[in-house]
Amino acid sequence: MSIQVEHISKQYGSFTALADVSLTIGNGELLALLGPSGSGKTTLLRIIAGLESPDEGSILLHGEESTQHSASRRGIGFVFQHYALFRHMTISENVAFGLRVQSRQTRPSRRDIRERVLELLRLVQLDSYAKMYPEQLSGGQRQRVALARALATKPRVLLLDEPFSALDAKVRKELREWMRSIHDELGVTTVLVTHDQEEALEVADRVAILNRGRLEQIGTPQTIYDNPASPFVYNFLGNVNLFHGRLLADLSSQGRGGGEGEANQAAVGFVRPHELEVSRDLPRDGKAVVASIVRIHSAGPQVRLELSIAGNGRPVTAELGRKRFEEMALVPGDNIFVWPQSIRLFDDDGARALLLDQGAGI
């Protein structure tokens, strides 16, 4: 089922939770709502669910105006951050709860409920835990039960509100991979709220980034990561190096990258650590700066160098593969040459972007 969010706004006193947010979620799509705390992610999720009412705007479910429909009428499953399982009920009773409280006209038979519960427990790989109670399960297992319970009524839409944030990193990674496989198997339209960039980029078909109640950008994980639409998105998605300065040439007529840029215009350059080239030798074109190695983090396949560049005002980070690092035999205190493979510039107010390809100087 598709979801259309049209010009949704929500105010809590003087605080603007959402400001004219519009987006469309396709049938069977998994969309991640990503942003920092207070960006409006959960508010938007609750408005889609019918648990909150917008001050302005509309929610259309499969093309049907649903803004005034109750949560029960929308056919939506909701998984909360802290499981919300009934402690006095067994695992199978928890999963069956949504089916048993339905009206007589829609309630399945006891046999059908048992079969549905067993089917879901097998799906979430917990069929051997049916007679146990929530406190006997781990956090990851409880979250699987919460998901099974949300799926029991065969919802048209599944909403997940930071479902893995209370779990440790290893379990969180395992569960999100498992959740993506469940989504692919069932094909139910899913909206995932998270503040974890890695989680959003790994599991979602598309990512919508919110900031202070406004939609900053929406697109595939690769598009969002490779082509951030604003300085906020660049800063929010992974590590990035910032360089402040002014353009030395008018780029609008040079055919490089996209957008415009006038000479002497104030600009901010963004370069991700893996986009910084490092060498002991000055490149032939001479477009490099000297950096001093302050610290080396060598755990894992990628080695991270913390660098100091005169005049930049803040540390710079570069990443290179372990084999290259060992070949260069770098140690703290070494001076090396650094230059970007590419650099994305935004004018001073962040309104316009330029992409300078390889050969651009810092």
Q: pLDDT tens digit string along 114-130?
A: 999 999 999 999 999 99
User: pLDDT tens-digit profile of 211-264?
Assistant: 999 999 999 999 999 889 999 999 898 889 988 776 654 444 444 444 455 556
CA geometry: angle 277, 283, 286, nearest 5 deg: 110
Largest pairwise CA distance in the chain: 80
Per-residue pLDDT at 311: 76
Gap between the Cα atoms of 274 and 84, Å rounded: 42
Q: What mean pLDDT is reported for the chain?
A: 89
Give the N- to C-terminal CA distance of the chain in Å, as an integer.
48
The pLDDT, as a whole number, for residue 348 is 65
Q: Are 197 and 238 in contact (CB under 8 A)?
A: yes
User: Is the model's pLDDT at 141 over the cut of 80?
Assistant: yes
Assign 344 a pLDDT band (cuts: 50, 70, 90): confident
C-alpha 297/C-alpha 290 separation (Å) is: 20
Cβ-proximal residues to 233 (8 Å cutoff; 6+ apart), any chain: 209, 216, 217, 224
Please report which confidence band the pLDDT of residue 345 belongs to, taking 50, 70 and 90 as the band edges: confident
pLDDT at 252 (0 to 100): 46
Cβ neighbour number for residue 321 with a 10 Å cutoff = 12
Beta strands in the chain (DSSP E): 3-12, 15-25, 30-34, 56-61, 64-65, 76-79, 157-161, 189-194, 206-211, 214-219, 241-246, 266-271, 276-279, 289-297, 302-309, 316-321, 335-340, 343-347, 353-356
Q: Could you tell me the domains of the chain?
A: 3-231 (3.40.50.300), 240-356 (2.40.50.100)
